[in-house]
Structure 1
Amino acid sequence: MLIAIIPAKDEAHNIKDVIIKTKQYVDFVLVIDDGSVDDTKSVAESAGAFVIRNEVNLGKADALKIGFKYAIDNGFDTIALLDADGQHDPNELPKLMNKLSEGYDIVVGARKFSPLVMPPLRIFANSFSSFLVSLICHTKILDSQSGYRVLRTDVVKKITFETKRYQLDTEMLIKAAKCGFKIGFVEINTIYTERAKSKINQIIDPLKFLFVTLRLVFYRCKK
């Protein structure tokens, strides 16, 4: 059983299309409405998603933790993670799932680091962080910050997540690698539009990624 978890904040103008496309490929769509002040919840429900609403904004990491608990409690064995703003094309889900079936535990959608589609500062930050995470994981990490991924629920049963906001994406890869989970990648389209802009702070968040990465150098997987 495959569940799609979509964290969302003020995405009423984007989320309907994302949900409708995602429903073609998964058994259940769960939206975590993370303190939206617009109609995200009602739009998501009208599109066929089940919605858990946080009354205040907790951030992406905490929204995902709520989704992980729901997936575990309700017996889903596979999880798909997508953004609500349209940066992740749900029509690429079969490609990620096919890769997962080759024996991987996590499959990440790796974006094209091209100046034609991605801001130069993002290219530098993503390339450097992926290089650093690769060294720590002892495996090639093509895109450490991509949030578009599918994974076996066993991964989130094993790992305790401690980071906030967008750092969870990096934390997941490092801890999963150190726990012996197999990580794969497939190339996905890089989508940046007026309606699908990254919410990552171009200065603060890369520094947080660096701090988290260095702190996890000494992480040891619990038996």
Structure 2
Amino acid sequence: MSDLLIVIPAYNEADNIEKVVRHLTEVCPDYDYIVVNDGSQDDTAEICRRNHFHLLDLPVNLGLAGGFQAGLRYAEKHGYRYAIQIDGDGQHRPEFIESMRKKMDEGYDIVIGSRFVDAEKPRTMRMFGSNLIELAIRLTTGMRIKDPTSGMRLFNRKMICEFAKGLNYGPEPDTVSYLIRCGARVAEVPVVMDERQGGVSYLTPIRSARYMFRMLVSILLIQSFRRRKV
């Protein structure tokens, strides 16, 4: 068994999941993985079973936070030292996992795969929202996270246990902001991400705007009332 688990949350990813897992196992054959099927309405689970992929099949849709936490609970239960989230839509390249792990071994609790360590953000409305979240995190923690909405995040054992056992711990910028305030050490590593390989993203422009607003309110206001120490 590897000491690193790759968690792949998947909801209606029948168009992508086979390609994602096969590429992952080719690039990272020494790492373990688990596909967390989050109550998909398509053939995601059936494709995983047919190909004998490692599968955690949730009977109902829990949403990204619930699916992610289920994966971290699996990692905690089975004693993994590291866990990383890789999206089931093919955007995250597993080629960068090793560099993220090496960075974590310098003493970090969370390592974020960042598109913008060495590059400027494009001038889009979505990146405008990312800039606002970046500013909110900087105002509340003093730390600059250049790619706060990146879903490619690596966690050490302490963070695995924190996410597995804590309530309302989603894989979102507000949780990262809260953990920084509690003393977690966070770093970014440059990565390249691809466009979604197939299917349709649930993030419509309206949902994206709501997401950005919710993150800003949470980081600037709600997280101030959380007092648990890491």
Asked whether the two chains share a fold, i.e. TM above 0.5, the reply is yes
Task: Note if 1:154 corresponds to 2:158.
Answer: yes
The residue aligned with 2:22 is: 20
Distance 2:167 2:189 in 1: 24
Change (3 A) 1:183 1:50: same
Q: Distance between the aligned counterparts of 2:60 and 2:76, measured in 1?
A: 24
Q: Contact 1:161/1:168 (CA < 8 Å) preserved in 2?
A: no
Equivalences for residues 8-87 of structure 1 within 5 A: 8-23=10-25, 24-25=27-28, 27-87=31-91
Residue 96 of structure 2: which of 92, 97, 101 is its match? 92
Structure 1 stretches of 4+ moved >4 Å: none
Deviation at 1:198, TM superposition (A): 4.6
How far 1:91 sits from its partner (Å)?
Answer: 1.5
Deviation, structure 1 residue 6: 0.8
8 Å CA contact 1:104, 1:182 repeated in 2:
yes
Amino acid in the other structure paired with 2:226: Y
Cα separation, 1, equivalents of 2:15 and 2:84: 22
Q: Which amino acid aligns with 1:41?
A: A
Q: What corresponds to 1:169 in structure 2?
A: 172
Residue of structure 1 aligned with 2:214, choices 208, 212, 217: 208
- Over the matched positions of the two proteins, sequence identity in percent amounts to 27
Distance, in Å, in 2 between the alignment partners of 1:102 and 1:197 is 38
Quick check: 1:129–1:210 contact (8 Å CA) kept in 2?
yes
- CA RMSD, 1 decimal: 2.2
> Take 1:102 and 1:47, find their aligned partners in 2: how far apart are those partners?
37
Tell whether the 8 Å contact from 2:109 to 2:159 is kept in structure 1 after alignment: yes
Question: 1:121 matched to which residue of 2?
Answer: 125
Aligned partner of 2:226 in structure 1 is 219
Give the TM-score taking structure 1 as reference length.
Answer: 0.87
Give the direction of change, closer, same or farther, for the CA distance of 1:182–1:83 in structure 2 (3 Å limit). same
- What are the Cα deviations for residues 130-167 of structure 1, in whole angstroms up to 9, with x where unaligned? 1211222222211211110111021132352415xxx6
